[in-house]
Homo-oligomer: A and B are copies of this chain.
Amino acid sequence: MEPGSRVDLGAIDPDGTPGLPGKAGKRPKAWARQELEKVGIELASHQERLYANAKAAAGRRRVLLVLQAMDCGGKDGTTRRVAGTMNPQGLHIVAFGTPTPEELAHDFLWRIRAAMPTAGYVGVFNRSHYEDVLIARVHEIVTPDVWRARYAQINQFERDLTRNGTTIVKVMLHISFEEQRKRIEQRLDDPTKHWKYNPADVDERGYWAEYQNAYQDALSECSTGYAPWHIIPANKKWYRDWAVASLLRGAFRDLRLTYPEGAFDLAAERRRLAAATVPVKQRVTRR
């Protein structure tokens, strides 16, 4: 969304598929699933170059995907499907839950800073510092003057991150009230999904409108030129996965990452390698 603009979530159709190309045709789901594989291969390639630059050329770049959504909005599924296309060794995935006593003893950005991906890594935040202007506001964990002041702190924080080499891709997965109900129901219907069911999720549904309001404000206040928010209609999982992966691909493409050159004399190294002799036999050390 445009920095400075005011979002109206009610005007965005959670069933929509904006940006889906005409070539997706009459079976857009099959197309999007197949396309996700291709996008995923490209993501893994970008990720390797990101890692290579940090490892061999002191590159400072990192990429952070921030996922926010209502309960059952698809944060876990998106993480699995999108991050799952990349090399797990180069990922730094952090799911933020209820703050611990230690985290509460610090400012709200403390645990976020500690969870940042290091250079060369792709970070994924499943929930984030935005919870501190969402649940903290809806449940009045802090007073209005506290959460209102956080918008500016978040913007400052994200500006510092981007200035220091972090590309931030912020995504709100936008589902409908009815879609949330369906998904909660699916968890109740399937015994292998009972572990995901939390009775508190039904209580939270009572705060739907308050959350949507809190989201609208947070997205509006914190969509900046350096770290804009993207609202992805997320009732259709196949669209959601393709859309988020494509966003991430776009961010990577903008970085134009190339493989670093080796900091060694190629011909000399070839000679050294050829000169190393095969050990004739395994020497045995007496211990």
Main secondary structure of the interface of A (DSSP, over half): helix
Which B-chain residue is minimally distant from A94 (CB atoms)? B89
> Is the pair A192, B80 in contact by a Cβ cutoff of 8 Å?
no
* A279 CB-CB contact with B under 8 Å: yes
The tally of residues in A whose CB lies under 8 Å from a CB in B reads 64
Q: Which residues of A174-233 are within 8 A (CB) of B? A: 177-178, 181, 184-185, 188, 191-192, 194-197, 199, 202, 205-206, 208-210, 212-213, 217
A214 to B70, CA, bound (A): 54
A88-B91, A213-B285, A278-B178 known; A273 vs B202 contact (CB < 8 Å): yes
A188-B270, A276-B202 known; A282 vs B10 contact (CB < 8 Å): yes
Measured between beta carbons, the chain B residues less than 8 angstroms from A192 are 259
Please tell me how many copies of the chain the complex holds.
2
In the A-B complex, list the 4 residue pairs whose CB atoms are closest, starting with the nearest.
A194-B262, A56-B195, A52-B195, A209-B279
Measured between beta carbons, the chain B residues less than 8 angstroms from A152 are none
With A55-B195, A209-B283 known, 7 other A-B pairs at CB within 8 A are A10-B282, A52-B195, A79-B89, A83-B88, A89-B126, A91-B93, A194-B264
* A26 CB-CB contact with B under 8 Å: no
Choose from B89, B273, B279 the contact partner of A76 (Cβ within 8 Å).
Answer: B89
* A84 CB-CB contact with B under 8 Å: yes
